[in-house]
Chain A
């Protein structure tokens, strides 16, 4: 733990469309260490899924990574050809998605699907992979793996399906798992079980996990560090413990305030006014300035840089003029 595993530097992703260029990801940088659970949080359309897909170069066309570097330990993912990428995908890094029922092929049994992924990475026959299939199903704590191997996806519950997806992702013993909203389609108790499973996989295998979520509760529960994304920009990043103690960016504060908890019963939840700026627009200044409750004169003019919040916390960094102004005073 502690050694950097994945490093994304200054990633820009754009979608050229007839209506203009959509800037989905604007200069995102992040670093995930070995055995770390890293959260990427933000509301719908803030570019978090595209960031996740970019790491495996899976951005759907016409989207393209305009610039940036992505390295997985010593491998430069941006310069890889297709064959090398296929070895990485599901090899050293794997990804799971939001809706497990749609992510499994309805016409195959579970065993067949896991076997196909194993055979895409290793020279083994269909039958020889069977032991491996059972071992994978067992690793994600599914009861009676032989039974599950013969089931079709629709015969399993949502939680079991997501476990199968995780089993698929773990086939080649990856070092990094990118989990895109892994619990969003599940109900709350199952959600807790899946998070528990992910936490245990980190403990047992030293797996690093990048969790993409809109749910600050998920972040608080299992993440070590977190980046808050807004309109394709990282607006705040740092250790989860420290950020929840003292968050600085008005957007992060708004997100947390909008989260219902027992104390808010009977009151109207504070929402962040307005909506995410259209990613078509080119705007000057801070991407959040139109919705920000504490806007300063400089905000619409100049984009703030990510800077350490306090000198004793160099890893907690915030992109907000407010903070720096406060410090100057």
Chain B
């Protein structure tokens, strides 16, 4: 099947693997039920967040406009998730909340990877005093309890969406530095690095062309799994009032506000809580599957 089709595809790059990497990845992925379900959930969340204004009949409430006359309506056909203490449709708020909660997750991981990966690669490849300096600074950063450090930074910068992202990102990068350094040290001892050096390939090319591609899957898997954790941490921050500020919708903040009414109006805290749970679980499961798929050995044997 695969053989017959390959000639019909546009001509591949001369160095690309002829086995049809992408098709193989797709096929392995589709065979993994957890991966498909978790990806579907994530796609739904992302679509819901992006298309929120078009999906809900109450876009203004989603954006924060109160509607006091409809306070605490129980879930019904017009308000599937009920309404909150200001009479806003909770479904609309959850969809809008995805915008801040999901984007902060991505941004935090992006900041952490962007800071941590190059530091780890440099420390691991060059070694010596540079390694010592970078890793001791990393240890120093890790010696603070992460949530407390993030809270301290966010409190110092002032509570806002961007500041909470910076605060969490700054507590997250050391893990990537450690991960990437360890991987770099192990990969640089493999004979192909020595072979590349013996053929006059320069250091930057060795780090970025030879070593990085061998560890990028590990970083990617870690990043995917961390997305769940980042969303959770961001939710915790906004639960404490340090994240996105009202009237912007945010899952953590909604849980925080809803908990006061939990005994009588459980839907207010429950649905954003479920959103946090589902989103972080899905990212974690997806990360697991991505690891299996991106490792060429497990992929081929699968």
- Chain A positions within 8 Å of B, measured between CB atoms, are 56, 58, 60, 85-91, 94-97, 99, 102-109, 111-112, 115-117, 120-121, 126-127, 130, 146-147, 149-152, 154-155, 165, 168-169, 171-172
Q: Does B214 contact A (CB under 8 A)?
A: yes
Given the interface pairs A103-B191, A146-B14, A151-B17, the reply to whether A168 lies near B199 with Cβ below 8 Å is: yes
Binary contact track B190-210/A, C-beta < 8 Å → 1, others 0: 111011111111100100011
Which residue of B has the minimal Cβ distance to A103?
Answer: B195
Q: Verify A152–B195 contact, CB threshold 8 A.
A: no
Q: Does B145 contact A (CB under 8 A)?
A: no
Q: Does B11 contact A (CB under 8 A)?
A: no
Q: Does B15 contact A (CB under 8 A)?
A: yes
Q: Verify A90–B16 contact, CB threshold 8 A.
A: no
Q: Verify A117–B199 contact, CB threshold 8 A.
A: yes
Q: Verify A150–B15 contact, CB threshold 8 A.
A: yes
Q: Verify A106–B296 contact, CB threshold 8 A.
A: yes
Q: Does B23 contact A (CB under 8 A)?
A: no
Q: Verify B16–A109 contact, CB threshold 8 A.
A: yes
Chain B nearest CB, measured from A198 CB (Å): 17
Chain B nearest CB, measured from A12 CB (Å): 21
Q: Does B31 contact A (CB under 8 A)?
A: no
Interface size bracket, B side = 20 to 34
Determine which of A60, A102, A109 lies in contact with B190 in the assembled complex, contact meaning CB atoms within 8 Å: A102
Chain A nearest CB, measured from B19 CB (Å): 8
Q: Verify A103–B197 contact, CB threshold 8 A.
A: no
Determine which of A95, A106, A120 lies in contact with B201 in the assembled complex, contact meaning CB atoms within 8 Å: A120
Q: Verify A99–B191 contact, CB threshold 8 A.
A: yes
User: Using Cβ atoms and an 8 Å threshold, which residues of chain B touch A146?
Assistant: 14
User: Using Cβ atoms and an 8 Å threshold, which residues of chain A touch B19?
Assistant: 152, 155
Chain A nearest CB, measured from B115 CB (Å): 24
- Chain B positions within 8 Å of A, measured between CB atoms, are 14-19, 190-192, 194-202, 205, 209-210, 213-214, 296
Apart from the given pairs A105-B214, A108-B213, 15 other A-B contacts in the complex at a CB distance below 8 Å: A85-B200, A88-B200, A91-B200, A94-B198, A95-B195, A97-B194, A97-B195, A103-B194, A104-B195, A107-B213, A120-B205, A149-B15, A152-B19, A152-B296, A169-B199
Which residue of B has the minimal Cβ distance to A120?
Answer: B201
CA distance A58 to B197 in the complex (A): 8
CA distance A171 to B196 in the complex (A): 12
Chain B nearest CB, measured from A94 CB (Å): 6
User: Using Cβ atoms and an 8 Å threshold, which residues of chain A touch B191?
Assistant: 97, 99, 102-103
Most A CB contacts (10 A, CB to CB) among B19, B196, B214 go to B196
User: Using Cβ atoms and an 8 Å threshold, which residues of chain A touch B198?
Assistant: 56, 58, 89-90, 94-95, 97
Which residue of B has the minimal Cβ distance to A155?
Answer: B19
Given the interface pairs A112-B15, A120-B205, the reply to whether A171 lies near B194 with Cβ below 8 Å is: no
User: Using Cβ atoms and an 8 Å threshold, which residues of chain A touch B192?
Assistant: 102-106
- Please provide the 5 A-B residue pairs with the shortest distance between their CB atoms, ordered closest to farther: A90-B199, A90-B200, A89-B200, A111-B15, A103-B195
Q: Verify A107–B296 contact, CB threshold 8 A.
A: yes
Q: Verify B201–A130 contact, CB threshold 8 A.
A: no
User: Using Cβ atoms and an 8 Å threshold, which residues of chain B touch A115?
Assistant: 15
User: Using Cβ atoms and an 8 Å threshold, which residues of chain A touch B197?
Assistant: 58, 89
Q: Verify B15–A89 contact, CB threshold 8 A.
A: no
User: Using Cβ atoms and an 8 Å threshold, which residues of chain B touch A87?
Assistant: 200
CA distance A49 to B150 in the complex (A): 52
User: Using Cβ atoms and an 8 Å threshold, which residues of chain B touch A94?
Assistant: 198-199
User: Using Cβ atoms and an 8 Å threshold, which residues of chain B touch A117?
Assistant: 196, 199-201
